[in-house]
């Protein structure tokens, strides 16, 4: 089983959009033909994802934007990763530099490197709540669209962006993944540069407050912040002494508690904040970004794997490719409409009076003579009017009519119905005898017996 790439899905959705106005019949025939061409190379894959990928390889559209969409995504990831590394690195360098006058303010460093990230993360989580309009938007999307425009496919991808989002918000999650690439790179850079700084130079930390926050309060906050990692070892917990020792007075340009000589136990605590900073960035910056990146990646991968299996439209394409097209082909041109000539507009002649001798045409049922005698008072003989007794249920045929052609005698067709039902078909058949008989016999009459 193989997964579609986002670009594959762009191409497939573009196809569906292009074919929107075509009839199902045309599309079915097209995809079956493509299926047959694929089958020439080997058995059609059972997995829809494989089949759709094979379809895209077999029948690429000249203006397909998929490959360039994948490229744009890769470029976007690279750009964001580089931007994250550069920004994270430079920011850390800036924050963790001793100007020779004052120590590094730990509250500023944590606030900038962790606090801002936490705020952004909270905003992201809020944005993920269903709002009824989860369409992706924002600077990263605009960057992606700008890249796609540079690659010459911006319009084509923009046309299908709603369709992409219809797959479990795919576009939105692609963008979330991209932003998390930036976030992870940023944090990696922060941690790496901080380590380098801590390893290669002596950075001492301090904190200060204008509004008179007490060291106990700062300690409580630091203790709370350190909860996720402080359980690992005793030394991981920020100590109150460390907070007290690192309180700084900018006005005087010195720590509130002036350290004594190098042997003063206060000295090591001036540098001890470094592990707190690293852990804070790790726990509140790097790990959440990594988790969201992993979730977004899993979501994107799952969507791309699930879509060919469960999407109604793509499932239909696969079924068309696999199933033969069954249809009926009439041979030759459509027949001309059947036109029935009207009967001559002449009144039927009168019936022969009782006692007339009539000739009964052969093929009549045995009871015919009796019926004619009883109903009309005719006798059966030779010569005189010709009487044909036929089934009231049978249409006049050319064979029957031919027997009356050009006869000089009165021809009487008696329609006999032994069932005596009131089926309306009998009346229609009688009407047809009345229409067809005068066309062949010079004098004729149709009677229902």
Partner 1 sequence: MTTPPKFVVVGRVNKGKSSIVATLAEEESIPISDEPGTTQETRAYSVEAEGQVLFTLIDTPGFQDAPAALERMRADRRDASVSAAAVKAFVDTYKNSREFQEETRLLAPILDGGRILYVVDGTVPYSPDYEAEMEILRWTNQPRMALVNRIGDGDHSADWKKALGQYFGLVRDFDANRAGFEDRIRLLESFRELDEELRTSLDRSIGILKAEQQRRRREASRIISGLLIAALTQRAELKLEKHERAEDRIEEARGKLRSELLDLERRAHGQLFALYRFKRLQSSELPAAGLTEDLFAEKTWKVLGLTHGQLLATGAAVGAGLGLAVDAATVGHTFGLAALIGGAIGFGSALVRSGQVLGSEWRVVKQLIDGHRVVRFGPLGRDQLPWILLDRALIYHREVSTRAHSVQGQLSIGDRDGIVRGLSAGDRSKGARLYSQIAKHARDLPDDLGSELRAWIEGLLPH
Which residues of this chain interact with partner 1, rule CB under 8 A?
23-25, 32, 36, 130, 132-135, 137, 162, 165-170, 172, 303, 306-307, 309-312, 315-316, 319, 323-332, 334-335, 337-338, 340, 363, 391, 393-400, 402, 418-419, 421, 423, 425, 428, 432
Closest separation in Å from C-beta 303 to partner 1: 8
Q: Phi first, then psi: what are they for 401, rounded to 5°?
A: -65, -35
CA separation, residue 286 to residues 50, 89, 188, 192 (Å): 36, 14, 7, 12
| Nearer residue to partner 1 within complex by CB, 108 or 310 | 310
Token output for 145: 């669209």
| Residues paired with 448 in a beta bridge | 415
For residue 229, give the nearest of 279, 285, 281, 287 by alpha carbon: 279
Strand pairing report for 386-391 and 205-206:
unpaired
| Nearer residue to partner 1 within complex by CB, 134 or 259 | 134
Closest separation in Å from C-beta 343 to partner 1: 14
Place of tokens 């009346």: 427
| Nearer residue to partner 1 within complex by CB, 231 or 302 | 302
| Nearer residue to partner 1 within complex by CB, 32 or 102 | 32
For residue 270, give the nearest of 253, 257, 252, 251 by alpha carbon: 257
Closest separation in Å from C-beta 168 to partner 1: 5
| Nearer residue to partner 1 within complex by CB, 46 or 395 | 395
| Nearer residue to partner 1 within complex by CB, 168 or 257 | 168
Element (H, E) at 83: helix 66-95
Closest separation in Å from C-beta 142 to partner 1: 10
Closest separation in Å from C-beta 322 to partner 1: 9
Closest separation in Å from C-beta 132 to partner 1: 6
Closest separation in Å from C-beta 387 to partner 1: 17
Quickly list H helices, 201-286. 215-225, 227-230, 240-245, 266-271, 273-281
Element (H, E) at 126: helix 116-128
| Nearer residue to partner 1 within complex by CB, 266 or 448 | 448
156 close to 14: Cβ distance less than 8 angstroms:
yes
414 close to 389: Cβ distance less than 8 angstroms:
yes
User: For 121, how many CA atoms within 13 A lie in the half-sphere containing its CB?
Assistant: 21
């Amino acid at each position: 089983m193989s997964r579609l790439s986002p670009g594959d899905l762009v191409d497939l959705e573009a196809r569906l959009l292009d074919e929107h106005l075509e009839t199902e019949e045309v599309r079915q025939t097209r995809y079956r033909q493509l299926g047959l061409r694929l089958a020439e190379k080997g058995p059609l894959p059972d997995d829809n994802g494989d089949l759709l990928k094979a379809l895209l390889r077999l029948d690429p559209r000249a203006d397909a934007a998929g490959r360039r969409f994948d490229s744009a995504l890769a470029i976007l990831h690279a750009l964001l990763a580089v931007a994250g590394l550069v920004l994270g690195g430079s920011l850390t360098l800036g924050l963790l530099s001793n100007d020779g006058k004052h120590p590094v303010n730990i509250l500023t460093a944590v606030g900038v490197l962790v606090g801002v990230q936490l705020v952004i993360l909270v905003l992201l989580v809020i944005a993920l709540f269903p709002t009824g309009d989860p369409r992706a938007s924002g600077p990263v999307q605009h960057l992606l669209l700008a890249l796609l425009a540079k690659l010459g496919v911006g319009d084509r991808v923009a046309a299908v962006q709603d369709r992409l989002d219809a797959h479990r918000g795919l576009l939105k999650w692609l963008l979330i993944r991209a932003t998390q690439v930036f976030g992870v790179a940023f944090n990696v850079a922060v941690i790496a540069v901080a380590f380098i700084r801590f390893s290669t130079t002596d950075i001492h930390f301090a904190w200060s407050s204008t509004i008179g926050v007490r060291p106990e309060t700062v300690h409580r906050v630091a203790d709370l912040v350190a909860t996720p990692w402080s359980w690992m070892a005793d030394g991981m917990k920020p100590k109150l002494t460390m907070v007290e020792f690192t309180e700084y007075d900018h006005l005087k340009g010195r720590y509130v508690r002036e350290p004594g000589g190098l042997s003063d136990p206060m000295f090591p605590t001036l540098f001890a904040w470094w592990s707190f900073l690293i852990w804070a960035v790790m726990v509140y910056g790097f790990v959440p970004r990594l988790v969201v990146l992993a979730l977004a990646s899993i979501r994107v991968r799952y969507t791309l794997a699930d879509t060919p299996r469960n999407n109604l439209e793509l499932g239909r394409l696969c079924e068309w490719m696999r199933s033969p097209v069954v249809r009926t082909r009439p041979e030759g041109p459509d027949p001309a409409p059947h036109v029935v000539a009207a009967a001559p507009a002449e009144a039927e002649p009168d019936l022969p009076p009782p006692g007339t001798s009539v000739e009964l045409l052969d093929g009549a049922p045995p009871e015919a003579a009796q019926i004619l005698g009883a109903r009309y008072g005719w006798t059966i003989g030779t010569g005189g009017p010709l009487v044909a007794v036929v089934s009231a249920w049978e249409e006049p045929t050319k064979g029957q009519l031919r027997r009356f052609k050009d006869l000089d005698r009165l021809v009487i067709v008696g329609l006999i119905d032994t069932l005596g039902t009131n089926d309306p078909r009998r009346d229609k058949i009688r009407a047809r005898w009345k229409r067809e008989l005068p066309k062949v016999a010079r004098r004729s009459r149709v009677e229902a017996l």
